[in-house]
Structure 1
Amino acid sequence: MVSPSKALEVFIHLFHPWYFLLYSTFWLPGTIWYLINTMQLRTLFTPRRLQSAWFARFWGRIGSNIRENATPRVQPLIVQAHGVVLDIGPGNGEWLSCFDKEKIERIYGVEPNVECHGRLREKIAATGLQDIYVIVPVGVEDLEQWAKKEGKGNLGKGSVDSVVTVFCLCSVPQPKRMIKDLYGYLKEGGNWIVYEHVIQKENRFLVWYQAYVNVFWPHFVGGCSITRDTVRWLKEAGSWSKVGLKKPEDEPSYNMLPHIMGVLTK
């Protein structure tokens, strides 16, 4: 028989996504008011841009809390980044302090959401990365074209030592295509550092319930999806010499936002 405390714990995990969505809605009115006050009417009346502005303000508030909780898992991964690095979707720069500057030649922070760039620049300066961190204001699909335009000759297919994806593969528009593109940028022997939430596969009810939550989730969390089979797509991206991915040991099987973490080596 399930104890009351265990039943309560399971309920909290099942309810948590709805609490997160509710908390997100509190930031929409403030975002609209801010855009009106600053006369950013084009952003206000363009749904995708409004969503980006809303998410940037929301994430600016909760990002530090998420970083604090996840740092014991994420920092030992990011510290393995070296050489030329692609930092995908850095957002407001929550993870910049995890990089080991002694190992880094250049970091390209691929962040198309310009609403995040202000806070990202502040975090770059605060962490002393201003000499090696370059903000790339386009998506991965336009990265090569941007590099040619900006004269970044060292950035092309087969030129990157490390790729870092932390809480970003869940929100890109074409994840399978982007994963394959990023695999192409990696050198032989390069590493891909991963910390992402992924699809729930524990039992039929959880799979169904997560899919139901995901009907609403992307609209409130910047286009993020919680039902992506990211592990399979990473493994199928190309040939790996080592796949060191695992589920965090302290996560229960009924977590509605299960994570995967680790490093893949090309």
Structure 2
Amino acid sequence: MNRTELAEFLRSRRARVTPQDVALPSGGQRRTPGLRRQEVAQLAGMSIDYYIRLEQGRGPHPSRQVLNALARALMLGHDERVHLFNLAGQALETPRMRGDVPAGVRHLIAFLEELPAYVVDVKYEILVWNPLAGLLLGDLDSRSRDDLNVIRWLFRDPDIAERIIDEERGRFARGSVADLRAAAGRYPDDPGIQALVAEMLALSPEFAELWARHEVQLRREHRKRISHPAVGVIETTCQVLSIPDREDLRLILYTTEPGSAAHQALRELRQFTLSS
């Protein structure tokens, strides 16, 4: 059980919910945003003293019944509810064994000649990729194994970050940090995640500001516009696929509308892979 993270998460979620959201009277002017501690305790059906101890990081190990009550009171979404249980040491699912990318997935990526495809782990390390993804994301083949982390690129590598259209970069950054925080709750003892978070907190004020929000949301399908120096702007749908029996890995595919300008741009980019 991570008492410190649990306490911070509860405080951040409480500040997000207004009395109107849960049909409570506003009670006049409030010094801080969101619900009062007593209101959360009332909504969750627990004593105010018990809830205060949880928010102060000194409470007992909460039961699943208590966690479900808190999730309802704080109006948590599915991803946030899973994160709450993880922080309290009551994981809803047990993460399976981790390791290398399965051979079948590697073969699949290799055969996807017209789709940029790669595999990332829970800390956003790119593990394997096909030639088209390598070109789209910035000559991955020339990078060292220590320089293949999407989070580091996003907050510290302007050459990579500038490929994401400006108005979408903020959304992508926010979603990536929210997804990384979910992974940190799911794998609390992972030294790689801990080291990455500590590094980014020390080196990136933008990352630190987003991390402090305690937002939790798993990465799912989303639109992404990428600016490539050779073929221009490519509008894609980023498909995020889970790999069976490997919850620590995700297959990322960039798809385009058949016959569209973006589809043609990817075909033009593919010519560079054929000529190399």
Structure 1 length as normaliser, TM-score? Answer: 0.29
Higher strand share: 1
Structure 2 length as normaliser, TM-score? Answer: 0.28
